[in-house]
Amino acid sequence: MTELAATMQGALQGWFGPVWGPHAWTVAKSLAGIVAVLVPLLLTVLYYQLVERWVIGWIQVRKGPNRVGWKGVLQPIADAIKLLMKERIVPAGASKGLFFLAPIVAVAPALAVWAVVPFAPGWVIADVDAGLLVVLAMTSMGVYGIIIAGWASNSKYAFLGAMRSAAQVVAYEIAMGFALVGALMAGQSLNLTEIVMRQDGRYGLLEWFWLPLAPFFVVYFIAGLAETNRHPFDVAEGESELVAGFHVEYSGMTFAVFFLAEYANMILVSTLASLLFLGGWLSPFPAAWGILGAPGIGWLLVKIAFFMFLFLWVRASFPRYRYDQIMRLGWKVFIPVTLVWIAVTGVMMLEPLASLPPFSIWFGK
């Protein structure tokens, strides 16, 4: 792998000369990294929707899609072809430029944020120091897609959905940010790789931050549900009262792009929860257990899959929250809980306490 990379670098240097050669190598390396991350991500998004329908069908004791291909495995391909073929309709009186800009604005941050997400030590497109901040900034931009879509559609339903979504996302972003503040305090870094490596140690499972930061862990996941407009907080779509909310006027591929963004964000929340609170690629078993005890991307994928299943489980199990209850939960429950636990984490990290067991497991390093 490194030999191949060196050969490629040499070839590009020779081709573009000494001035542009290094730049060409940077571009080529980044492009290869982007393809290596985005292709599996998009395939996961495609099949996540099928698995979602299977899981919810299974929970609700029905079959789910089982007609296209063997047991329905070609269903997402059929859906994608159908959506590609459909006509894109622009409503009368819509702001046309913004109407087509909205899906792009929704999906761009959802994909761009994967640049700083590590999958194993060194397996990251851009290993920036302030990785966690980049994640927060990028996820906070996703709401523009929804707001612009709701406004540009020139439709009351879409507009109401956008308004709800804007208030909800702003409310939950604060709690989510505080939960991440806890993770960066315990990890003593903003770099995601370093936060994961700080959860390494001989106690395995108990070393991970889910234990000392349990309130942040719970708040982060629930705020992630709200941030991605998923059940039970999906009032921005609310098909029983708003038809489909912000994307009611979208058809064909523009509609599909909104779903692409939503599912990419769900996978992102699952990945971050695994990285920050469940030790990322670290193994829960002792290192003596051979392949089971070795850290690797496999463990990260198992943890991500667990959280992705949790998204579906929650969707199939809980009724939708009422809007004032969502706001109350965000402002009056989560923000105070996270504020108090930030202070508690700070006390746990103070010196006499930090080197005493059990706090020395997490903060004594």
Written as six digits, the tokens of 272 are: 């971050």
Q: Which of 269, 260, 272 minimizes the C-alpha distance to 108?
A: 260
Cα 304 to Cα 27, 29, 98, 272, 283, distances in angstroms: 29, 26, 34, 9, 14
Member of 134, 223, 225, 276 binding another protein (CB under 8 A):
134
| Local structure of residue 201 (DSSP, 8 states) | S
| Local structure of residue 203 (DSSP, 8 states) | T
Peptide bond into 118 cis (omega under 30): no
Closest CB 115 distance from another protein, rounded Å? 13
Residue 154 in contact with another protein, rule: CB under 8 A: no
Within 157-216, which residues bind another protein (CB under 8 A)? 159, 162-163, 166-167, 169-170, 173, 190
The set of residues, in sequence order, having a beta carbon less than 8 Å from that of 174 and lying 6+ positions away, is: 330, 335
154 torsion bin: left (phi>0), alpha (psi -120 to 50), beta (else)? left
Residue 52 in contact with another protein, rule: CB under 8 A: no
Closest CB 159 distance from another protein, rounded Å? 7
Which lies closer to another protein via its Cβ, residue 152 or residue 267?
152
Piece in contact with another protein (CB under 8 A), picked from 142-150, 204-212, 249-257, 347-355: 142-150
Contact yes or no for 238/161 (Cβ under 8 A): yes
> How many residues sit in the footprint of another protein (CB under 8 A)?
27
Residue 337 in contact with another protein, rule: CB under 8 A: no
Residue 137 in contact with another protein, rule: CB under 8 A: yes
Within 100-129, which residues bind another protein (CB under 8 A)? 128-129
Contacting positions for another protein (CB under 8 A): 23, 95, 98, 128-130, 133-134, 136-137, 140-141, 143-144, 147-148, 151, 159, 162-163, 166-167, 169-170, 173, 190, 328
